[in-house]
Structure 1
Amino acid sequence: MPGAVRELLGLDGENRVFDTVLMGRRTWELGRDTGAPDPYPRLRSYVFSRSITQSPVPTVNFVSGDPLEKVRELKQEDGLGIWLCGGGVLAETLWPEIDRLVVKVNPVVIGAGIKLFHSDEFALRKLRLAGHHVYESGVAVLTYRKE
């Protein structure tokens, strides 16, 4: 959850699942443009960008190199999980390193949306449902693992 939302809801507990968040530049810019240049201050943040090579925010790490190489490096470190937050282009690039896919389905449709995986080619990707939870609000969280 973004830091501002955590504060509004009075959530101050430690993250138990993730300690690192990955974003593409456009996803990061959405936060920046709404006043949150470090939208996840409790997590180590990495933004992948070919156009911004120096971080304009000291608490956010910008990576201009190979995303797969960086993620493989991060996965070798001790710590909690790595969360890929938005960015169909980045998700497509990182597909070989994605261990599980968590899809949140909301009972509200806003705009046209972003592709989950942005590719110009049709790719069949088999996943297996590993868990699910439906909240009273109608939000469904589906967890899949690669087959």
Structure 2
Amino acid sequence: MRDLVYYVAVSLDGYISGPQDQFETFLVDGDHMAGITEDFPDAIPTDIAARLGIDQSGGRFSSVVMGARTHSMGLPDMPSPYRHLEQVVFTHRDLEPEENLTVTDADPVEVVREMKRHDGGDIWLCGGANLAAQLRGEIDRLVLKRQPLLFGSGIPLFAPSDYDPVRFDRVSAQDYDSGVSITHYVPRG
């Protein structure tokens, strides 16, 4: 069975982007990038990986799910940012059809459960906070790229919601001289 992996960069104060949707302040240079391109080459947009000569064929993901706001971060330059993966965007808005991109307003939990039943690599939960909150019970692995910066406000890792606490256990961590720390967690029980 495929796992749903919430793999995301997050600030020290728990935001996946700043108050004006800033995500470009996350470090993309430094010693942590070698680990990222080795372990998660398929989580780099298709065109950027091609420009950098990164081989995405051995990655762990075969699908990526995201909310409309996360998808819109690359528009108009990258309307289909992860063409090497099956892409699913959850939204009620109309979006132009693009290569290897499915747009749906279906229940994310039902869609992800159906995706998990099919063969393939893991499913990457790319963002955002609302989708992560809806899928919190389906997350099989949480991989945080903790960045050494503070936003003060912005889009949180998970949107506020009334739900029971979910306990995670740390299974591995790697600290880099850049100040970035990549930590893997799995749900307890």
TM-score of the alignment, normalized to the shorter chain, above 0.5: yes
Superposed CA offset, 1:16-54 (max 9, x none): 211100010010011124x111111211100001222x6
Amino acid aligned to 1:69: E
Q: Could you tell me how far apart the structure 1 residues matched to 2:86 and 2:176 are? A: 28
1:100 aligns with 141
Superposed CA offset, 1:76-113 (max 9, x none): 00011000001000001111111111111122446743
**Alignment check: 8 A CA contact 2:133 2:161 kept:** no
Query: Relative to structure 1, is the Cα distance of residues 37 and 131 closer, same or farther in structure 2, using a 3 angstrom cutoff?
Result: same
1:24 aligns with 67
Query: Relative to structure 1, is the Cα distance of residues 136 and 4 closer, same or farther in structure 2, using a 3 angstrom cutoff?
Result: farther
RMSD: 1.9
2:124 aligns with 83
Given the alignment, which residue of 92, 113, 116 partners 1:72? 113
> Offset of 1:114 from its aligned partner?
1.5
SS class of match (2:113): helix
User: Are 1:118 and 2:159 matched, yes or no?
Assistant: yes
SS class of match (1:145): strand
- Return 5+ residue gaps in structure 1 as ranges: none
Q: Could you tell me how far apart the structure 1 residues matched to 2:135 and 2:71 are? A: 17
**Alignment check: 8 A CA contact 1:17 1:80 kept:** yes
Q: Identify the structure with bigger relative contact order (alpha carbons < 8 Å, sequence gap 6+).
A: 2
Q: Could you tell me how far apart the structure 2 residues matched to 1:21 and 1:90 are? A: 12
Q: Could you tell me how far apart the structure 2 residues matched to 1:25 and 1:87 are? A: 8
Given the alignment, which residue of 52, 60, 75 partners 1:9? 52
User: What is the TM-score when the length of structure 2 is the normalising length?
Assistant: 0.70
User: What is the TM-score when the length of structure 1 is the normalising length?
Assistant: 0.88
Count matched residues. 145
Identity of aligned residues (%): 37
